[in-house]
Structures are given as C-alpha cells and as structure tokens.
Amino acid sequence: MAADLLRNKATGFAMKRIALAGFVALLGVLVLLPLVRIQGLAFANGGQGYLDAFGRAAIWTTIRNTVALAVGSTIVALVFGTLLAWWATQLSPRLQWLRVLPVLPIVIPAVASVSGWAFLLSPRPGYINALLRNLPWWSDLRFGPADIYSLFWIVAITGFALSAFVYLFVSSGLKNINSELLEAARTSGASAFGVFFQITLPLLRPVLVYGGGVALLLGLGQFTAPLLLGTNQGITVLTTDMYFATQNEPVNHAAAAAIGSPLLIFGLIMVFGQKIMLGDQARYITHGGRAFRPAGKPSGLAAAGIFTYFVVTTLAPLVSLGILSLSPFWSANPKWSAMSLDNFRVVFGESVIVGAIWNSVTTSLLAVAIALVIGFIVSVVTLRGRRYPVLRMLMDVIVALPLGVPAVIFGVGFLLAYSTQPLMLYGSRWLIVIVYVTLMLPFTTRMQLSGMMQLGTAYIEASRVCGANYLKTDLWVTLPLMRSTLGGAAALMFVLLTHEFTASVLIRTPRNQVMGTVLFDYWGNGGYPVVAAIALIMTGVTAIGVIMAMLLGGRDALSRM
Amino acid sequence: MAEVRIEGLHKEFRGKPPTVAANNLSLTIGDGEFLVLLGPSGCGKTTTLRCLAGLESPDRGRITIGGTLALDAGRGVDLPPEKRDIGMVFQSYALWPHMTVRRNVEYPLRARKLTRGLQEGWVEDTTKLVEVDGLLDRYPGQLSGGQQQRVALARGLVARPGLVLFDEPLSNLDARLRDQVRSQLHQLHSRLHFTAVFVTHDQTEALSLADRIAIMNKGAIEQLDTAQRVFEEPATEYVAGFMGMTERLPMERRDGHWCLEDGTVVQGVPESLRAGSSIVARVRPQDTYVEPQGTALPGGSAGFVAEVEDVAFAGRFSDVVVRVGARRLQGRTLPGSGQGGLEPGRAACVRFAADRAAFYAPDGQRLAGNPVGGARDGR
Ligand SMILES: Nc1ncnc2c1ncn2[C@@H]1O[C@H](COP(=O)(O)OP(=O)(O)O)[C@@H](O)[C@H]1O
Ligand SMILES: [Mg+2]
C-alpha cells in the first residue's frame, strides 16, 4: 500500500509541476514576448533602431524633459501625498469620508483630467486664465497668465496625479506606526509639528523611499499629459517620442523600440531591486496582526487642507469639463444661455463613439475576469508552492514586470508581436483584452496576495484538518473569505482599464477603438466640446466602477491597492 | 480511536542558526490516551503537533495513526491533513467568520462526506455536549471567547476522529473560564475516549488533564511519565524547574559534609544518594520552611542557616526571602505561625523534607538513591 501511495504521490507531483510549468510559460509569453520582440527589432540590422533613435540631436532634449518630468512630478507627489496622508490622520470621526478624496486622481481617467486642465489653463480660452485677466494687474494681458502647454504645468499635473499613489503608501505606513510612539513624544514635550518631523517622518522613511520609487517609475512612463499638452510646443519625452515614431511618416518601428530602452532598463532595475529587498513573500504571512492608527487630535486645518486640495486639483478640471460639455464651442467666456445637451446627443449618435464605449466596457470586463483567475492562481502558488522554488520565482518576476515597464512599451511591444503571423491579432478585440490582462497582472496579484496573507493560515489549516483538501478549502473557505478582496480587485481593475489610454492608442485600429482613443481623435480634430462630453462619460463609467468597489470591497476598497 | 506511533521525528527550520524544532523524537500514544506535551514557549510543541496533523513536513521520521501510515519521510510518504483521521483545536479557535456555528461544526462531516453523521445528528449531539447547542444559528463574531472555544472544541470532535490535537486551546481564556472549559474537556474525554495530544505550557493544565505528560526541551522529550510521577519524581533538573521546583541548591562534599557555595553546611542530606562530590537539590518554595534559629531539625529533613531578607504576610503564613552567600531563596513560615518570629537581617533556619525535594547530578540527571522513587532509580 505504501508503494502505491508512493507512486500516486510521485505522479501527482509531476502532473502538478507540468501544469504549473505550462501556466508560467503562458504568463511568460504574455509578458516577455512583447519585450523580446521590441528589443529584437531595436537591435536588428546592426542596431539600426538605436542609431536612428539616439543619433538625433533632439533626443537629448527629450531625455532631459523626461528626467525633469519624472523627478519634478515625484517631488510634487511626495510633498503633497505625505502632507495629505498626515492630514488624513487628523480628521474628526464625522469627517473620515474625506480620506477618500486624495485617492480620486487615480480613478479619474487621465485623458479626462488632462483635457479638463487644458480647458482651465490654456493661454487664451482657458477658463481660469480668462478669470485671472479680470484682475487689475493682469488686465492688459491677452494670453495667460498661466500656460498649460509648458513643461512646468505638465510636471505639476503629473505630480498631482501621482500624489494619490504616495498618499496610499504613506497612509498605510502611518497605520503601522504604533500611536504610543507618537504619544510618548507628545508627553515628552514635543509639538505636533515636532512629532511629525522628528518621529513620524523618520519612521516613514522606508515607505517614502518605496513610494518615491514607484512615483519616479510612473513619472518616467507618463504619456497622456505630455502627449496632450506637450505636442503644441514640441515638448517631447521618451514615451511620446516613441509614439510619434510609430505614427508619423516615415514610420520607424525599430527606432520606437530603441527609444523605450532607457525606460525598460530603469523599470527592470526597480522591479528586481524590490524583489531582492522583499525576498520570500510567504515570510510576511501573519496570523492576523493588529494595526495602530496614529491618533492625532482632530484638526480643522487638516480637513480644510484636504478639501482645498481636492477642489483645486480634482474638482476644478471636472467642472471645466462640465461647462464645456454643455457649451456649443470653447470660448473664454461661456454663455450660460446657449448651453444644451447637444454634445451628449452627438456622442450617443455617433456609432464610432458608442462602439468605443461598448468596446471599453466589454474588453475591460473580460480582461478583469481573466486577470482575477490568473491572480488567484499566482497568489496560491506563491503562498503554497514551496516545492517549486524555481517556477515560483520565475512567476513572481513575470507578474511584477508590467508594473515596472511603462504601458507605452507594452503598447509598442504588443503591436510588434501580434501584427505578424502566426500571432495575427492586430485589429481584433482580443488583442486589447490580452494587453489589458497583461497590464493588470501586478495589480490582481498584489491585491489577492495581500488579501490572502491578511487572512493568515489558521482558517485554511483548520479546514484541512477537518478533512477538506485544498480544492474544497479554497471553494468553501478561502474564496468566501476573500469576497471583499476579490470584489475590490475586480472593481479597481475595471476602473483602471476603462480609462486605459496609453497602450490602447498604440494597438487600436480605426474600427476598433476604446473610450480614451476616440477622445484623443476628437482632441486632435479640435472637437473640444465633444471631448469634454466623452471625458465626462468616461468618468461616469469609472464612477460606477468605484461604487461597485465600495459595495463589494467595503469602504476602504480604494485604499487596498 | 487510534494508537499513535511517532518514530525518529525530526524537523529543522532553516535560518541562521537553524532551529531544531523536533529532535529525533519517538513516542507511542496509547489508544484513548490523553497525552500532554508540556514545555516552555519555543521548545517545539506546536511543531510536533503540526507534524502529527500533516500541516508541517518533517525532515525525517515515521508516524502511524491508528495503523495507517501517515508519514514516512524516508519513502516520501506524507499524507495531507485531510487524509488523516484527526480533529484539531487551535489556539486562535480559527472559526470561519462567514459561517454560522452550525456550518462550522458540520464542516468536518461535509468535508469527509460523513452523511451518516449529518443524518444521525452528530452536530446536535456534540454541541449539546459542550453546551453550545443554543447558539447554532449565530456567527462566530457574535459569541464570547468561551463560547467560541467550545464551538472550536465541538468542531474538532464532531467527526469522531481517532486522534484529536489541541494547541494551547485554553490560553486565550481568562482564568475562571479556563478552569471551566478544562474540566469540561476532562469529562468529555472520559466519556468519548478519543486519543488526545494536548499542547500547553501551563503545568496545572497538564497535571489535571493528562494520563501521561511529555516534557519537551529543545525539540526532544526530557521525560515521559504519568502526571504524578512527573510531579513527584522529575527526571532531570530541567523538568524539576518546570514542575515548580524553582529553588535550587548546588552543594559540594567537603570534609564529610555537604556545603553550599559559601561554605554553609547543609545537614540531613540523605545518605542513600549515590553521588559524586557535587549535587544539586531542587525544592518547591511551598515545601521550604523558614523558622527562627535554634529550632531543632526534624528527622527526614534537610536544613541550613541563612539570613532573612524579607518577610511578606500572605494570610495563614508569610512568604520569606532568605540569602545564603550570593544566593537568594524563596520559602515560607509554618502554616498558622503568621510572621513566625522572623525579622529581616537576622539569621534563621531553613529546612525542607528530603522526600519533597529532588537531587540531581551536576549534569542535571536524577541521582540514584533519591528518597522518592529511589528504588526505581537504582534499577
Ligand atoms: N515556520 C517557522 N520558521 C522558522 N522557525 C520556526 C517556524 N515555526 C517555528 N519555528 C521555530 O521552531 C521553534 C519551535 O517552535 P514551536 O513549535 O512553535 O514552539 P512552541 O509551540 O513549543 O512554543 C521555535 O524556536 C520557533 O522559533
Ligand atoms: Mg506553540
């Protein structure tokens, strides 16, 4: 009987290993094939792509702009994100809902907020500029005073968007600080400010380093703001340069591939560096720890600060979208009497736009469903697959890569990898779904993995000693207990995907669009009121996703990222 | 019901330095026996228990449960937990929060497809036994700690497994509840006769529940005996310390006398001890009496002179701290004597009955010729 057992066990083990190897290979194709294709092309013909890309004089300005954008927006994000997170700890119980506001820049589509900013601060017809020109000392200006199409404002807007990420990291870091450490400093005579600078900030250093790294990475990969705002005055960064190389005549895919390399290398360094520093994820598993919340005294200033930041950076662009979407055309002084819903009628009468909305929603839903399943398997293997150390490590790196590699690179990579036989998917909706799944791998994994780690091992072990195998345990215990995590992850991914623009704009075809790309087309044609309407609709779809997230994942679903 | 055999169980955790959590451990637990694994935190009790459950994969060893081979590391046999005929009660209870009490308790029956149990009402029977039958439709979050504990107990027992494992199940309860649940568990065992392995670091709990106690030290079993024998005849100094014999008296043979480190002569050390030139006596504070100097030493007692440092009133007697050389000892006055005429700074006579003490060689092994069980030791 023991020999039987032995054989069954050995074959079972081999089967599982083969299944897992197949799964990892699939993920590898998904993530690595585009990257390999992109480098293959860049190095083809003796590195002609690299010669074309880096032989131009303009490339150095582009690189300088890229660095300026990344570093500048990271600094903006670190300052505001930290400040907002600190303020968020000082809210009175009645004002706790304000904690959500700083996260909103993540859930508002980038194309929407960037175009909203343009409508506010464009030199001539920008609404705020027009208002400011009423002030006596600016009354003689015909343009400005602010110019949204400048590097300064591109940096600022990007920084505002990234502050949401820093806010999330720092908030969770603050939650892990034992409030007694802070109270001890207060009772030793330190002021609130003293405590913040002498105790809180030093304790937050690892979080700030990590959050700053993530912001830097995202800043380097920024695409939407430089594309929409920088093109006017020829301000290019690596991502937009890459895009233009694939769009403008003469199209040079090899050069596009080469331009992305600095971003790719930096992303890889970040991903591997983080893996090495974190080590084995399973080590961090707990049996349900207790978090302390720093109990600052409620402060009216903090609440006012958070609200003001929200109004200026988040609400204002939305309001400008609202005004413009109701106006017949974009002018500095909107006429209230001429307002109508005509633009929305145009949007819903235009089959391309309606098709794009439908496309966005269905491809996103499909991609979310696939990503959820993949993320669950990856998380389970990460936590339980000690017997497959090599496969597990490979899988871990592969699913983390899309976080480090900018979406533009994936866009170009997928374009190259799937527009030739035998993998001819270009022009099909499936290509969009596959790209979306790839982009979501880090999110689905991270959220489900952390959900499982918080769940701890006790519930699962209790089920196993009751006689349930892993399959039953997952079905009856793990999945039900993960419901809110899964719901939150699904809704978050839906939000991120319905406003995906960067990769989509590279792989779309005229007949196969998503919301962000039709918005961009109207932007290019100068159809600004329709742009505003589409942007608002995108925001509305996102809002539905957010509400779903709240319902399924509980009120803190957004901060689970 | 099941007999459990553990042979050469070995489990190391990697790290710097590696931790040996179970060190070549062998043990046979009789059918229906209640075995307690006792030891301080970190000595490997939980790891041993988890190896029995199949939740941990040992490096070496064999385990059979009720005649079924559950583990044979040498041949690559390691049955997963669900294939072992066990029940387990966790320290944190681990009741699934999304299931009612009823669903929690019937889970083992469903998982093991014991439809008979579902039809015959084993859930109701078991919950009645632990007195939570009124709570079946509540969720774990709506129960008190003691109720949760008893639900966890019911879940461990409901499928009538041959072997039930307990990992410090009472340690999260407050003192009164702990006594209650403990005696309930004792009754349950005498009624149901399951084989039990119970992990704890609490000697009272161990003594009151165990048929036999295994005292663990650094992953190995230091002594395996009935509760009474472990209490009265600790096999090593380590066990003695753990069983409450906290007062330690190292002695050396000088000029035909047994002397403490500072030269104080100890009288009345049993002649029967087969000792070398040094020994260590272990005794409980409640067996160590302190009396005014000059009191005669009764027969069968050992005693010496020490300086009183502190006297604290404790009701029918007083707790006394005495000092000999650099060593401090805890003792008490005779019952009913109050302060016992003792004053700090004055000399006093310290004595204990030789058959309430245990004597060890310097390496910690029990000496042959101890007043209690001496004949057995001499084997
Ligand atoms: N998963 C693990 N990884 C590394 N070391 C462990 C692990 N589990 C337990 N240990 C170590 O093994 C030793 C025994 O642990 P444990 O069996 O939990 O002790 P006990 O239950 O007696 O308190 C301890 O030193 C502990 O630190
Ligand atoms: Mg333990």
The CA-CA-CA angle for residues A434, A438, A439, to 5°, reads 120
- The share of chain A scoring above pLDDT 90, in percent, equals 13
Which atom of ligand 1 has the smallest separation from the CA of B199?
Answer: 21
Give the residue carrying structure tokens 């491809």. A363
How much is the pLDDT for A192?
A: 67
B94 at interface of A, judged by CB pairs closer than 8 A: yes
A398-434 in b/e form (b: 16+ CB < 10 A) is bbbbbbbbbbbbbbbbbbbbbbeeeeebbeeeebbbb
Tens digit of pLDDT for each residue in A206-223?
778 878 888 888 888 888
Ligand nearest to the backbone CA of B37: 1
- What would the mean pLDDT of A479-504 be, rounded to a whole number? 85
Give me the DSSP letters along A29-71. HHHHHHHHHHHHHHHHHHHHHHHHHHSSTHHHHHHHHHHHHHH
B250-284 pLDDT tens trace = 999 998 899 999 999 999 999 888 878 899 999 99
pLDDT in the model for residue B126? 92
Is the pLDDT score of A553 beyond 70? no
Residue A341 has pLDDT above 80, yes or no: yes
Reported confidence tier of residue B138, pLDDT bands at 50, 70, 90: very high
pLDDT of residue A288: 33
Tell me what pLDDT residue A290 has. Answer: 36
Please give the pLDDT value at position A119: 87
Residues 6+ apart with CB under 8 A from A351: none
Q: What pLDDT is stored for residue B374 in this prediction?
A: 58
pLDDT-wise least confident of A202-211, A490-499, B54-63, B223-232: A202-211
Domain span(s) for CATH 1.10.3720.10 in chain A:
14-47+338-561, 56-324
CB contact set of A506 (below 8 Å; sequence gap of 6+): A243, A246, A408, A411, A412, A414, A415
In 10 A of CB A471, how many CB atoms?
8
pLDDT value, residue A159: 93
Rounded to the nearest angstrom, the distance between the alpha carbon of B15 and the centre of ligand 1 is 12
Nearest CB to A465; choose among B77, B86, B95: B86
**Ligand 1 centroid distance, CA of A279 (Å):** 20
> Considering only alpha carbons, which residue of chain B is nearest residue A5?
B77
- Of B12, B36, B43, B50, the one to substitute when testing ligand 1's pocket (max ligand atoms within 8 A of C-beta) is B43
Measured in angstroms, how far is the CA atom of residue B47 from the centroid of ligand 1?
A: 6
- Give me the pLDDT at residue A187, please: 60
Q: Residue B40 CA: which ligand 1 atom is closest?
A: 22
pLDDT tier, A419 (very low <50, low <70, confident <90, very high otherwise): confident
| Lowest mean pLDDT segment, chosen from A176-180, A528-532, B114-118 | A176-180
CA A421 centroid distance within chain: 31
The number of the ligand nearest the C-alpha atom of B216 reads 1
Determine the topology of domain A56-324 in CATH.
MetI-like fold (1.10.3720)
Output the six-digit token pair for A191. Answer: 């002021």
Strand ranges of the sheet holding B19-29, from the earlier edge strand across to the other edge:
B19-29, B4-13, B60-65, B68-72, B77-78
Residue-level pLDDT at A294: 46
Query: Between these two residues, A546 and A237, which has the higher pLDDT value?
Result: A237
Tokens, residue A281: 């994820």
For A514-522, the CB contacts below 8 A with 24+ separation are A514/A356, A514/A359, A514/A360, A514/A363, A514/A432, A515/A109, A515/A356, A515/A357, A515/A360, A515/A541, A516/A109, A516/A111, A516/A360, A517/A356, A518/A352, A518/A353, A518/A356, A519/A111, A519/A112, A519/A115, A520/A111, A520/A227, A520/A228
Render pLDDT for B8-39 as a digit per residue (tens, 0 to 9). 999 999 888 899 999 999 999 999 999 999 99
CB proximity B65 to A under 8 Å: no
Which DSSP state fits A197? I
Q: What is the average per-residue pLDDT within B283-310?
A: 91
B123 contacts in A (CB within 8 Å)? Answer: none
CB nearest A467 (choices: B55, B75, B111): B111
- Quick check: B213 pLDDT over 90? yes
Higher pLDDT, residue A268 or A76: A76
Distances from the Cα of B25 to the Cαs of A232, A399, B59, B219, B365, in angstroms? 77, 42, 12, 8, 19
Residue B4 has a pLDDT of 95
Per-residue pLDDT at A291 exceeds 50? no
Residue to mutate (ligand 1; options B12, B13, B92; most atoms within 8 A of CB):
B13
Phi, psi dihedral angles at A12 (to 5 degrees): -60, -45
Provide the pLDDT for residue B30: 94
How does pLDDT run across B63-88, given as a tens digit for each residue? 999 999 999 988 989 888 888 899 99
Shortest CA distance to B155 belongs to which of B110, B116, B197?
Answer: B110
Which of B55, B75, B108 lies closest to A461 in CB terms? Answer: B55
Q: Which of A259-268, B40-49, B337-346 has the highest mean pLDDT?
A: B40-49
pLDDT at site A501: 86
Q: Which residues make Cβ contacts (< 8 Å) with residue A370, sequence separation at least 6? A: A433, A437
Q: Mutate one of A466, A475, A486 to test the B interface: name it (highest B CB count within 10 A).
A: A466
**Amino acid A182: pLDDT:** 63
What is the per-residue pLDDT for A179? Answer: 61
Structure tokens at A289: 């720890």
Mean pLDDT throughout A105-111?
84
User: A511 exposed, middle or buried (CB, 10 Å; 0-12, 13-18, 19+)?
Assistant: exposed
Rounded mean pLDDT, B85-99: 87
User: Which residue's alpha carbon is at the smallest distance from atom 16 of ligand 1?
Assistant: B44
Strand partners, B87: B164
Cα–Cα distance measured from residue A263 to residue A216, given in angstroms and rounded to the nearest whole number: 11
pLDDT at A373: 93
Going by C-alpha positions, the residue among A115, A117, A121, A114 that lies closest to residue A143 is A121
Q: What is the pLDDT of residue A308?
A: 92
Range scoring the smallest mean pLDDT among A90-94, A167-171, A511-515, B249-253:
A90-94
Of all protein residues, whose CA lies closest to atom 20 belonging to ligand 1?
A: B42
Q: What is the ipTM of this complex?
A: 0.74
pLDDT at B282 (0 to 100): 95
pLDDT, average across residues B190-212: 93
Indicate whether A370 pLDDT > 60.
yes
pLDDT given at position A145: 81
Chain B residues in contact with A462 by the CB 8 A cut-off are 88, 90, 94-96, 155
Phi, psi (degrees; rounded to nearest 5) at A144? 75, -160
Say whether pLDDT at A543 is over 70: yes
Residues A257, A410: contact at Cβ < 8 Å?
no
Confidence of residue A1 (pLDDT cuts 50, 70, 90): very low
- The residue-averaged pLDDT of B224-249 equals 93
Residue A191: exposure state from Cβ atoms within 10 A (0-12, 13-18, ≥19): exposed
Please report residues of B whose CB lies closer than 8 A to that of A466.
Answer: 82, 87-88, 107-108, 111-112, 155, 159
| C-alpha A357 to ligand 2 mean position (Å) | 56
Distance from A4 to chain B by nearest Cα, in Å?
Answer: 10
Cα-to-centroid distance, B19 and ligand 1 (Å): 8
* Mean pLDDT value across chain B: 90
Contact criterion met (CB below 8 Å) for B289 and B247: no
pLDDT bucket at A292, cuts 50 / 70 / 90: very low
Instruction: State the first-to-last Cα distance of chain B, in angstroms, to the nearest integer.
Output: 34
pLDDT score recorded for residue A558: 55
- Mark out the alpha helices in A427-501 (DSSP H runs): 429-455, 458-465, 470-473, 479-481, 483-498
- Contact assignment for B80 to A469 by CB distance below 8 Å: yes
Here the tokens at position B19 are 């931790």
Query: Which whole number is the average pLDDT over B105-126?
Result: 91
Residue B195: what pLDDT? 95
Cα B114 to Cα B82: distance, rounded to the nearest angstrom: 13
Mean per-residue pLDDT for A362-373? 93
The yes-or-no verdict on residue B140 having pLDDT over 80 is yes
pLDDT at A281 (0 to 100) = 47
Least confident of A13-22, A90-99, B63-72: A90-99
The answer to whether residue A199 scores a pLDDT higher than 80 is no
A486 touches chain B (CB under 8 A): no
State if pTM tops 0.80: no
Which helix (H) or strand (E) segment is B179 a member of? helix B175-192
Q: Could you tell me which of A157, A166, A167 has the C-alpha nearest to residue A223?
A: A157
Residue A9: per-residue pLDDT: 58
> How do residues A35-73 score in pLDDT, each as one tens digit?
888 888 888 877 787 887 788 888 888 889 999 999 999
| pLDDT recorded at residue B378 | 40
pLDDT at B94: 84
Most confident region among A96-105, A208-217, B139-148 by mean pLDDT: B139-148
CB spacing of B108 vs A466 below 8 angstroms: yes
SS3 assignment, position B24: strand
Distance CA A66, CA A367 (A): 31
Q: How many CB atoms lie within 10 A of CB B358?
A: 27
When pLDDT is cut at 50, 70 and 90, the band that residue A75 belongs to is very high
Ranking A510-519, B191-200, B314-323 by mean pLDDT, the lowest is A510-519
CA A479, CA A472: separation in Å to the nearest integer? 10
Residues of B in contact with A472 (CB under 8 A): 111
Q: How far apart are CA A491 and CA A448, in angstroms?
A: 13
Q: Residue B379: what pLDDT?
A: 38
Radius of gyration of chain B (CA): 25
**Contact criterion met (CB below 8 Å) for A398 and A32:** yes
In DSSP notation, A499-550 reads T--HHHHHH-BTTB--HHHHHHHHHHHT-HHHHHHHHHHHHHHHHHHHHHHH
Query: Lowest-pLDDT range, A76-90, A321-335, B177-191?
Result: A321-335
Pairwise CA distance, residues A322 & A331, whole Å = 14
Contact of A485 with chain B, judged by CB distance below 8 Å, is answered with no
Whole-number pLDDT of residue A559:
53
Q: Is A14 on the interface with B (CB under 8 A)?
A: no
Q: Which residues line ligand 1 (CB under 6 A)?
A: B 13, 15, 19, 21, 39, 41-47
CB B213 within 8 A of CB B227: yes
CATH of domain A14-47+338-561: 1.10.3720.10
